[in-house]
Structure 1
Amino acid sequence: MEFLEISQEQFTAFAAEETTSFLQTPQMADMLAKRGYKLNFLAVTINDKIKMAALITSISVSGGAKLEINFGPIGNFDQVIFNYFIQELKKYAKNHQALEVKVRPDINYMVFDSKGQALEEANESFISEMKKLGLTYNGRHVGYEEQDAVAEWQYIKDLSEITDEASLLKSYNSNAKRNVKKAIKNEVIVRAATYDELAEVERLIGNTGEKRHFATKDLDYYQELYTAFGDNIEFLLTFQGETAIAAGVFIEVNREFLYLYGGSDGAYGKLGGPFLMQHTAMLHALERQLVTYNFYGISGKFDGSDGVLKFKQNFGGYITQKVGEFSYYPQPIKYKIIQGIKKLLGRV
């Protein structure tokens, strides 16, 4: 095995087959570069063939650099190769004078049914392996405010056995079926947004984000997404007459359609617009011959307080919880000193 930096072209070719997250795509790399991040592409090869790879970001912080890998490394999971990647990543971080490294793997900790009942045992062995490798475990997070970098909790619908609109509708609960029919009866229209309409997308998603307490993006971000992902992204707007009442952002990543962001105007909630938008997006996923529809983020709370989860449950699916966040400090004494100074200065 060999650990090395690879070109973006090599990463692009590998990610085309292996990535499971939009965060580990060349399109996201281009966006991050525009936003001031330094990027590198790391890989483990065996006999010159890439087996595992990752897009790693670097940003300057007081005293050094902060490195991050979000939902990577990618590749067919093999614990031996993964462990080797982490061991070499630690050396890489030291050589590049990094102050902190954060890794958020795209590895499941647990899988639950739609109501939050566990379907399998917790993946404690992976966490133990990471600790043995010298990484600090920052734990798993619950709540939208705590999931700032990646969605650790995801709601997913399997489309592999669904072949047409009739079987798709049949997979919903009665509330979703009723609201889809209501929206159609109310002459609600769902269509792709143009580049010039992205301000409406930003407005609708931003309003919902404030109410639900989850992070949203600015207009520039949506414009960059639109340009970067091309045919692999859809911005859908839902209209009642001339009024935009709901919006969503959907990205194709390999065989999955990801519902990245969404929002709606609550004043028009009784028209069923958000239900028809989701139904339309899933029809588009079927047209693209995708086998998974990922509703993406939920809070991880199953006490009835998560309205976003309640909405997504209408369509049927299951829940995954990722293993969470790990850190490594190549210069631990320096890191502690800098953190102490920041605390004294009131910056933490």
Structure 2
Amino acid sequence: MLEFVQLTDEEYASFQENHPCGQFLNTPEAMQQKLVDGWDVEYVGVKKDGQLVCATNLTSIPVMKIYRYYRAQRGYLMDYSDTEVLKFFTKELKSYLHAKKGLYLEMDPNVFHKERDIDGNVVEGGYDHSDVVRKLQKLGYEHEGFTVGYEDREPRWIFTLLINGRSEQELLKSFHQQTRWSINKTIKQGIKVRELGLDEVSIFLNMMHETAERRGFAKREDEWYVRQIEAFKDKGKLLLAYLDIPDFLQSLDQEKADLDKEMADIQQKLEEIPNSKKFVKKQRVVQEALDLNLKKRNEALEMQEQYGPVINMATSLFLIGNGEIVYMHSATDDTFRKYNAPYAIHWYMIRYAIAHGYNRYNFYGISGIFDKEDESYGVYDFKRGFTGVVEEYIGYFTLPISDMMYKMYKKLKG
């Protein structure tokens, strides 16, 4: 027996936490952010013989004065192959929302379309959930299509690193050569990563401002980011990549002391074995290392004089939950671009994912356009350097609630 039910916050949270369709966008934390942003939030679902088999969040705001626009953020928590439950839930949900003056419902299921590889190509014999699209359309949902490009909403295309139990060294070895080089460079250059507290959120916001202005991107207001950070609390990580110059100089001093000792040993060997090719070569290598050490020291001293003892270089916000870590927002100080600080942040969080048993490291949005000439290709190319797979959601669906008024609404919107 199927029963349409309203759910408490606790019932929804418990069901969402372990459901395969659970994702950060349909967590209780995301709903808390919606509440603070001014949306109404409620939860409904379906019980089958007393057991909860389907649940969804319903967020809503007024539209056309007397109606409401509803959204099921990241879709229903259910097995979409269960036609009986999907059909029953759709019918009951439409009646429920009609009684509440709903105009239409929009949802974007946490269901991938077709399995794709790192290059965005469809994997032969891989999964294909086109049937879910057809099933929803048959039930009256309007599909917005398999779109590409960036939109002012959640992305339809993402890039994900699947850890699959691999160690740090195994993952590092799997990365593209340029990515490995960039990570190792951040280590050699003394780039460190730490978490920012709420009292330091201005560091993140200021860098977001600078990055948005430089790249010509639209940026949300500061309060929106703060609300998101506050809503997710310990399920969010705000990270900063920085260079502590006094600390870096100290490490250079230690490196120089080690190199000086090595050089002294080589010179002693050359006195014992003059013109030894082996030790002449070693002497040249160590001298090059000493020259580089001096160059780094002089550069660090110049930077300290110009920018101060600690230089903030990049910042990122990650959200954590439902078995994955999601890379949400990032910003960099272009002055220090050559230090590759974003790589330090990602390597820090990938190691965190390994240590805490997260299988999915979600680099999040890409455009779904894989043409090297397209302006969006650089974002995708950066992410694919860590290896992984392209994932394509089945997309956005609209369920008209008040059919006649919805048609009128669409005409008015143009």
Q: Same fold (TM over 0.5)?
A: yes
Aligned counterpart, 1:22? 24
Q: How does 1:31-70 map to 2 (within 5 A)?
A: 31-62=33-64, 63-70=66-73
Select the residue among 269, 284, 288 that pairs with 2:337: 269
Q: Report the residue type matching 1:131 in the other structure.
A: Q
Aligned ranges for residues 245-264 of structure 1 at < 5 Å? Answer: 245-264=313-332
Corresponding residue for residue 231 of structure 1: 234
Show the counterpart of 1:94: 98
More moved, 223-232 vs 180-189: 223-232
* 2:114–2:130 Cα contact (<8 Å) kept: no
Distance change (3 Å), C-alpha of 1:143 and 1:210: farther
Q: Percent identity?
A: 26
- 1:215: how far off? 5.5
Select 2:157's aligned residue among 139, 153, 160.
Answer: 153
Q: Secondary structure at the match of 2:223?
A: helix
Q: Residues 303, 185 of structure 1: CA spacing in aligned structure 2 closer, same or farther, 3 A cutoff?
A: same
Question: Larger Rg: 1 or 2?
Answer: 2
SS of residue paired to 1:30: helix
| Runs of 4+ in structure 1 over 6 Å off | none
Asked if 1:179 corresponds to 2:182, the answer is yes
CA distance in 2, matches of 1:168, 1:183: 17
TM normalised by structure 1 equals 0.91
1:204-215 counterparts in 2 under 5 A? 204-209=207-212
SS of alignment partner, residue 315 of structure 1: coil
Q: Name the CA distance, whole Å, in 2 between partners of 1:211 and 1:90.
A: 45
2:194 corresponds to: 191
Write 1 or 2 for the structure with the bigger share of helix.
2
Please state whether the residue corresponding to 1:112 is helix, strand or coil: coil
Paired residues of 1:11 and 1:41 also in contact (CA < 8 A):
yes
| Structure 2 SS opposite 1:111 | coil
Q: Following TM superposition, by how much is the alpha carbon of 1:133 offset from its aligned partner in structure 2, in angstroms?
A: 0.2
For 1:292 and 1:131, how far apart are their aligned partners in 2? 30
Once the 2 structures are TM-superposed, how far is the Cα of residue 26 of structure 1 from its aligned partner? 0.8
User: 1:132 and 2:138 equivalent?
Assistant: yes
Which structure has more strand as a fraction of its residues?
1
**Cα pair 2:165 2:354 within 8 Å, conserved:** no
Gaps of 5+ in 2: 245-309
CA distance 1:141–1:212, shift in 2 (3 Å): farther
Q: Give 1:69-148 correspondences, 5 Å limit.
A: 69-80=72-83, 81-119=85-123, 120=126, 122-144=128-150, 146=151, 148=152
Offset, 1:110: 1.8
Q: Find the aligned partners of 2:129 and 2:17 in 1 and give their Cα distance.
A: 27
Aligned length: 340
2 CA distance for matches of 1:183 and 1:30? 37
Q: Tell me what 1:318 maps to.
A: 389
Could you tell me how far 1:122 is from its partner in structure 2?
4.8
Query: CA offsets, 1:49-75, max 9 Å, x none?
Result: 211211110100114000011212124
Cα 1:151/1:339, change in 2 over 3 Å: closer
Q: CA deviation at 1:85?
A: 2.3
Alignment partners' CA distance in 1, 2:55 and 2:214: 38
- Secondary structure of the 1:296 match is strand
Q: Aligned equivalents of 1:250 and 1:32: distance in 2?
A: 18
Please, what is the CA RMSD of the aligned residues? 2.0
Q: Deviation string for 1:108-148 (max 9, x for gaps)? A: 1122111111113653221111111011111132111x2x3
Change in Cα spacing, 1:214 to 1:111, as seen in structure 2 (3 Å) is farther
Q: Is the 8 A contact 1:202 1:217 kept in 2?
A: no
How high is the TM-score relative to the length of structure 2? Answer: 0.77
Question: What residue is the counterpart of 2:281 in the other structure?
Answer: none
Which of 347, 350, 355 is the aligned partner of 1:279? 347
| 2-structure distance, mates of 1:2, 1:216 | 43
In the TM superposition, residue 160 of structure 1 has moved relative to its aligned partner by 1.7
Q: Name structure 1 gaps, 5 residues minimum.
A: none
Measure, in 2, the Cα distance between the counterparts of 1:84 and 1:153.
30
Give the Cα separation in 1 of the matches to 2:352 and 2:54: 31
- Cα drift, residue 34 of structure 1: 1.0
Q: Quote the offset at 1:303 in angstroms.
A: 0.3
C-alpha spacing 1:61/1:252, structure 2 compared with 1 (3 Å)? same
Shift, 1:84, TM fit:
2.7
